[in-house]
Structure 1
């Protein structure tokens, strides 16, 4: 994909279009110039050969018989015609065949020779003298070939230089656009709608940057409004929900019927579920706004895990699951630096997901190991839930299996909290297994 990206770039398209356009234009012009030069050279060669035939004819005499000798590389043939009688006066060796009965001056091609015929009346007026001079057309063809190769090489070099020039020029012209793209990418990575630099070019790029900044300002305003709404709504809902939960828990201790007790238990379960949603929305709002407060401290990860397992013992038994815990006996210490309350929520969320999606009557494998300078907390469970893309689990409001309760915020919040505490949270799924790993630096 990294190779395909430059192929689709505007810069390369401009270079290709400019190069192809220049190639077609220069090729047409070169073809025209070559044909014109070819015609001129042929005309010059024809004129020179015709003049040569005329001069040799003037130097030829029948009575007395005088025949001029041809130059090196020339071929000569002479005919004397009187009435119906034709006599060959002279013919060079290997002279090509020619119709000596032609009575007009002409130029003809024969094999690799160019022939010029000149006809004049003899001095006594009783006959006609036909002079034919021939020269090899290979020098002319070689000269034309050299001109053709020169034009072709010039065409290729010019096309290459024009393409490179267009590449450089387009890169220089699109440099502000590249700065806008890089700034937009940094905005996307940082999840912040900060303004991008506006080039002072006075063209469409400056207008584009200004338009994008206006759009980002509106997005920033909408995001801030959303964060404020989530935070305010969560704070406002937490108090009445806490009151309702307390009142229902007190009512359960009263002398009531079994039917009423089941009804209150159902309502209490729904209130707890709604309270978790409110807490998640508040955490998401704080994470998005960057206002989540952390209180880092030294934590014995093994002790904290054992306390959480004891706290989560009943749900594990209700799902008929078996928990296997493995601690690294070779590690001198399993201490990390983190916010204990936030880390407790993260580990409880991972335990809750493992219990929720695990196959009944299977084993949960929990391990805390030291790997180099890191402490890795890992939890593995067997599952029937399909997870086509485990990386999508780190997105908010995404659920791999919509049949289970939840809103798809737990893993996203856990990822963000662990990242803020200086650790990493990774998940993997394959062949009916799901594994979550939390990694911190060892203290």
Structure 2
């Protein structure tokens, strides 16, 4: 899901920042509104209690004694004070025992009751009448709790809507950037560099797309220059190298002494290495430019493999290796359609790598089997050193062991050629065993 993709994406960061900002702002405003409403409700309740106490005080008489009864849910206390003598006229049974209210018109909270006290001159003209009226604070607290929950739910819903709105808005704003990223990724995977679509927005995204297109043009020019150089240099070097090899081989046959023969043999070995490098560079430039020509034909894969292993018989024996070949006898035919010259180079390269990197006095296992309408050619060998990342071997100019000769192009070229022939080449390494596998369509 796109929502779970990149936990560090700009879109998610915008949503979180916007949601956090809205939460802090709205939470502060909600707390301010709640406090204001709370003060208003408390003041209104205070006025109601004071008015109620005043009315009860007006209806109370000392001579004759007249005491008004409290309403349901109210508590009442009446006291008469004259000459510093306090006389209790009436107190409700449920009146808080520890309640004491001072001041003429005051409000206090005792237990679960809110108490209001009013003091006035008694009708006899000598003493003071103190009236204390109380009501349960639960209705007020319940009303304040409902308002608090309403504000909390509103805050949560508003924050959720703000995050979703910020997520959608940031996605809409970053849509040109996503298009640029997708185009850049396709450019990275494609054989040819194509321009990135430029949004006509007149903002930084348009500037970014134009800058990246300019960069891609320079990269394309550099790559073309590199390919042209490799192709031209390879073509130009092949002829003089062939002439040098021929002349050295002729001179080697006509050498006078062993010292000259050894010297010419060393020079011939280096020329062959240089010729292989030139051939690899030419193949690489053709693969990069898409100009490598294939001539597919029907090939008996088992016959070709046996012929190539016979050519490598001397190199295998020289390193004290043992070759075990397994052919699928249950299959009527092991015929594949491929370019014979290119496939020969691929199989020779795989055999060369297996012989070069195999541990001495170990066995090479080569098999050709038919599986699920495919013909699988595989070669395994015991390696000297572990290969932590075998997938990198199919990249250009990468060597797992730099102590051996080579330039890191053989497996990359083989991989590309096999892919062009509609087949697949995979390499794997487990428990110091290296395995190369080529799958052909039967």
Alignment TM class, shorter chain as reference: over 0.9
Residue 385 of structure 1 and its aligned partner are, at CA, apart by 2.6
Query: CA separation in 2, counterparts of 1:80 and 1:99?
Result: 17
Aligned ranges for residues 26-425 of structure 1 at < 5 Å?
A: 26-97=26-97, 102=102, 104-425=104-425
CA deviation vs aligned residue, 1:274-304 (integer Å, no higher than 9, x gap): 0000111111111111111111111111111
SS at match of 1:366: strand
SS at match of 1:386: coil
CA deviation vs aligned residue, 1:245-283 (integer Å, no higher than 9, x gap): 000011111142110000000000000000000111111
SS at match of 2:330: coil
Structure 2 CA distance for partners of 1:315 and 1:417, relative to 1, 3 Å: same
CA deviation vs aligned residue, 1:115-137 (integer Å, no higher than 9, x gap): 10000112332111111111111
The number of residue pairs the alignment matches comes to 442
Query: CA separation in 2, counterparts of 1:310 and 1:375?
Result: 21
Q: Is the 8 A contact 2:101 2:108 kept in 1?
A: no
Q: Is the 8 A contact 1:393 1:399 kept in 2?
A: yes
CA deviation vs aligned residue, 1:355-380 (integer Å, no higher than 9, x gap): 11112222211111101100111111
SS at match of 1:438: strand
Structure 2 CA distance for partners of 1:260 and 1:233, relative to 1, 3 Å: same
Query: CA separation in 2, counterparts of 1:3 and 1:359?
Result: 50
Structure 2 CA distance for partners of 1:238 and 1:131, relative to 1, 3 Å: same
Structure 2 CA distance for partners of 1:280 and 1:57, relative to 1, 3 Å: same
SS at match of 1:6: coil
Query: CA separation in 2, counterparts of 1:322 and 1:244?
Result: 36
Q: Is the 8 A contact 1:79 1:100 kept in 2?
A: no
SS at match of 2:6: helix
Under a length normalisation based on structure 2, what TM-score does the superposition of the two structures give?
Answer: 0.97
SS at match of 1:156: helix
Query: CA separation in 1, counterparts of 2:302 and 2:2?
Result: 44
Residue 5 of structure 1 and its aligned partner are, at CA, apart by 4.0
Structure 2 CA distance for partners of 1:65 and 1:183, relative to 1, 3 Å: same
Deviates more, 1:63-72 or 1:143-152: 63-72
Deviates more, 1:261-270 or 1:432-441: 432-441
Q: Is the 8 A contact 2:386 2:431 kept in 1?
A: no
Query: CA separation in 2, counterparts of 1:413 and 1:100?
Result: 98
Q: Is the 8 A contact 1:386 1:401 kept in 2?
A: no
SS at match of 1:271: helix
Query: CA separation in 2, counterparts of 1:386 and 1:11?
Result: 42
Q: CA RMSD in A?
A: 1.6
Give structure 2 stretches of 5+ with no counterpart.
none
Residue 346 of structure 1 and its aligned partner are, at CA, apart by 0.3
Structure 2 CA distance for partners of 1:263 and 1:100, relative to 1, 3 Å: closer
SS at match of 1:7: coil
